[in-house]
Amino acid sequence: MYRLALSSLALALAFGCQNASKLDHSTGTSTVRAARVVKQPAKLEFYVMSKCPYGVQVEQAVAPVLDKLGDNVDFHVAFIGQKQGDQLTSMHGPGEVTGDIAQLCAREIAPDKYVKMIDCQDKDPGHVDTNWQDCGKQVGIDTGAVKACMDSKGQQLLAASFAESDQRGATGSPTIYLNGKPYEGGRKPNDFLKAICNSYDGTKPADCNSIPAAIPVNATFFSDARCKECNIDRLEGQLASIFDGIKVKKVDYMSPEGKALYAELQKADPTFKTLPAILFDKSIDNDKDGKGQIARYLHPIGSYQSVALGGSFDPTAEICDNKVDDDGDGKTDCDQASCKEAMVCRPEIKKSLDLFVMSHCPYGTKAMLAVKDFSDAFGKDATVNIHYIGDNANGQLSSMHGPDEVTDDLREVCAIQHYGDNEKFLDFLACRSKDLKADWKDCTGKTGIDANVIQTCVDKEANTLLASSFDVSKKLAIAASPTFLLNNRETFNAQDAADIAAHYCKANPGLPACAKQLSGAAPTQAPGGGGAACGTN
């Protein structure tokens, strides 16, 4: 799978982050709930988090469709979260748990109106824990009965909902099923309408006869089969959720057509150099809605509109692991200077562990705490290095979770720079990871680190240090937080100290600490495997 290095569009596509557009005039929201006319209603299941923006978007998109099709759709919502003992938790905090419960109780009290209440709440999803009362009243739900339900059996309903989502394997919001099968269609209202209508046998609701025809849009997926990580085929389905009528043509650089296209693009824009790329011709202008959704990711190049993918593969340069002199300079693979930083060419460094992280990524903070436990257990038998994931655009540093994350990154690289002895910096990093909302200076006092040293570094050298750290992550094409690099040669993902130690001891057997029992479960992923992370990988 190609690592779309820190591309905002890649993240948007990967998680389905397109705006839910309104239905066309021909498919506008109806005011009367449609009676059942089909033999078997279509079963549509949503597994979501009530504050998740991606879940909210699909709820907003499907609401007018459900209103139109009425009893011809059996719609079901369940929520994603965790039950730890008697405690129910969800990714976006306690308010999301309350919002989930309110929506489940609204379904209990008014199964024919709760979708309208959710649609109303989704106009302000940050306050689903409180706006259910006004929204419930607006759509005619007895909010007193909803409150009584929340107080009496709300926790029980949500625990059952969490269990249902877990049984379904739904960990991402939204996870969608149509008639028991994973839904792979688009996420605009007309996409849902079309998919549901196509699922019926025989008689269909009248609104199924007025779905607008798809607008043809031509796209060229320009890549290079020699690049093992440049496969962007998965984006075809994601783009189809934006452009109903997309027609994809795939061109490989090594073909005569590919060489000609590369030359054409370089002539139009001499800065064009790397693949993969997605190129739209002028037909994209015909689908104004679709183009509008990705407009900020497009830039003109010749007669095309190119999508900013963040591709980093130079097809004219040496490929580091194919035993071929690709650029014709007499040097092959790792003998080429440009390959020295490639993963395959890196020298093995025994008893080393590198963590690539975003300081405000919830999975990253968990991994940072695990690394501290691991380091305490292994001591001098493990050299731990921390690197940060972000972007450097002409000196402007940015990271996925915003400016506050960059600010914390700057302080943390300063701790790494000035408190490397016995990896003391890990004390500060672990302290910050426990509570990002606390004053960072509290952690200097607790860990014996001088706040003045950190602040002076932030003022004078931190930008250069962080830019260098970002550069290491970029050169290794690591964009997911957390990612571990073992002995300088292979990557893996882990979330607790026991998992880290299991991978580490497999590559560095016989160390005394390998016999210790560290916190956490046994490893669930082999080296190179994936796991919960911020970013794409």
On whether the CB atoms of residues 192 and 251 are closer than 8 A, the answer is no
Q: What is the pLDDT of residues 64-83, one digit of tens each?
A: 999 999 999 999 999 999 99
Predicted confidence band at 20 (pLDDT cuts at 50, 70, 90)?
A: very low
Please choose, from the candidates 392, 511, 411, the residue with its C-alpha nearest in 3D space to the C-alpha of residue 461: 411
- Answer yes or no: is pLDDT of 26 > 70: no
pLDDT band at 491 (very low <50, low <70, confident <90, very high): very high
Tokens representing 77 are: 């919502």
Question: What distances in angstroms separate CA 339 from CA 217, 317, 342, 346, 387, one per listed residue?
Answer: 38, 10, 5, 9, 20
Mean pLDDT on 462-485: 93
Kindly tell me if the per-residue pLDDT of 29 is higher than 70.
no
Residue-level pLDDT at 375: 97
User: Which of the listed CATH numbers 1.10.150.300, 3.30.300.30, 3.40.50.300, 3.40.30.10 matches domain 25-210?
Assistant: 3.40.30.10
Residue 238: predicted pLDDT: 82
Residue 464, CB half-sphere, CA atoms under 13 Å: how many?
5
pLDDT at 225 over 50: yes
Percentage of residues in the chain having pLDDT higher than 90 = 74
Q: Say whether pLDDT at 524 is over 70.
A: no
Tell me how many helices (H) and strands (E) the chain has: 18, 19
What is the spatial distance between Cα 86 and Cα 522, in angstroms, rounded to a whole number? 24
The β-bridge relationship of strands 483-486 and 490-492 is: antiparallel
Give the residue carrying structure tokens 């005011």: 31
* E runs forming strands in 439-517: 480-481, 483-486, 490-492
Range 452-477 average pLDDT: 95
Cα angle 121, 78, 29 (rounded to 5 degrees) comes to 45
Q: Is 367 helix (H, G, I), strand (E, B) or coil?
A: helix
Q: 393 pLDDT band (50/70/90 cuts)?
A: confident
The pLDDT value given to residue 3: 39
Region 477-496 average pLDDT: 92
> Left if phi > 0, otherwise alpha if psi is -120 to 50, otherwise beta: which for 528?
left
Q: What percent of the chain has pLDDT over 70?
A: 91
Three-state DSSP state, 397: strand
Cα distances from 149 to residues 98, 125, 137, 170, in angstroms, run 12, 21, 16, 26
Q: Is the Cβ–Cβ distance between 216 and 244 less than 8 Å? A: no
Q: What is the pLDDT of residues 255-283, one digit of tens each?
A: 999 999 999 999 999 999 999 999 999 99
Mean per-residue pLDDT for 474-479? 86
Confidence of residue 19 (pLDDT cuts 50, 70, 90): very low
Q: What angle do CA 267, 270, 275 make, to 5 degrees?
A: 95
Determine the average pLDDT of the residues in 290-296. 90
Joined together, the tokens standing for residue 332 give 């092959």
Decide if 93 contacts 362 (C-beta within 8 A).
no
Residue 320: is its pLDDT beyond 70? yes
CATH number of 216-307: 3.40.30
Give the pLDDT band of residue 4 (cuts 50, 70, 90). Answer: very low
Question: What is the model's pLDDT at position 94?
Answer: 95
CA angle 315, 357, 443 (to 5 degrees): 155
pLDDT band at 233, cuts 50/70/90?
very high
Q: In what order do the strands lie in the sheet with 175-178?
A: 73-79, 42-48, 175-178, 181-182
Coil vs helix vs strand at 115: helix
More confident residue, 398 or 10: 398
Q: Which residues contact 402 (CB under 8 A, 6 or more apart)?
A: 360
Average pLDDT over residues 229-247: 88
Task: Tell me: pLDDT of 522 over 50.
Answer: no
Res 9: pLDDT? 52
CA distance 424 to 445: 13
> What integer is the mean pLDDT of 193-209?
94
**What is the spatial distance between Cα 64 and Cα 115, in angstroms, rounded to a whole number?**
10
Amino acid at 480: A
Instruction: Give the pLDDT of residue 329.
Output: 85
Q: What is the pLDDT of residues 121-147, one digit of tens each?
A: 999 999 999 999 999 999 999 999 999
Mean pLDDT of 42-69: 96
Which of 214, 222, 209, 275 is closest to 241 using CA atoms? 214
At 33, the pLDDT band (50, 70, 90 cuts) reads: low
Residue 168 has pLDDT above 70, yes or no: yes
Q: What is the DSSP string of 315-361?
A: TTSPPTTSSS-TTSSS--GGGSGGGTTSGGGSPP-TTEEEEEE-TT-
E strands, 85-187, are 87-89, 175-178, 181-182
**Relative orientation angle of helices 462-475 and 403-418, to the nearest 10 degrees:** 100
Task: Annotate 192-206 with DSSP letters as a single string.
Answer: HHHHHHHT--S---G
The set of residues, in sequence order, having a beta carbon less than 8 Å from that of 358 and lying 6+ positions away, is 364, 388, 389, 390, 399, 400, 401, 405, 481, 534, 535
- Dist CA 349 CA 487 (whole Å): 5
What b/e string do you get for 65-104 counting C-beta neighbours within 10 Å, with b at 16 or more? bbbbbbebbebebbbbbeeeeeebebebeebbbbbbbbbb
At the second CATH level, the architecture of 347-535 is: 3-Layer(aba) Sandwich (3.40)
What is the crossing angle of helices 425-434 and 362-378, to 10°? 140
Q: Residue 523 pLDDT > 70, yes or no?
A: no
Three-class SS of 243-290: CCEEEEEEEECCCHHHHHHHHHHHHHCCCCCCECEEEECHHHHHCHHH
Q: What would you report as the CA-atom Rg of the chain, rounded to the nearest whole angstrom?
A: 26
In angstroms, rounded to a whole number, what is the distance separating the alpha carbons of residues 46 and 55?
A: 8
* CB-based contact 391:397 (threshold 8 Å): yes
The predicted structure's pLDDT at residue 531: 56
Domain ranges within the chain, ordered by starting residue = 25-210, 216-307, 319-343, 347-535
Q: What is the pLDDT of residue 417?
A: 97
Calculate the average pLDDT of the chain. Answer: 89
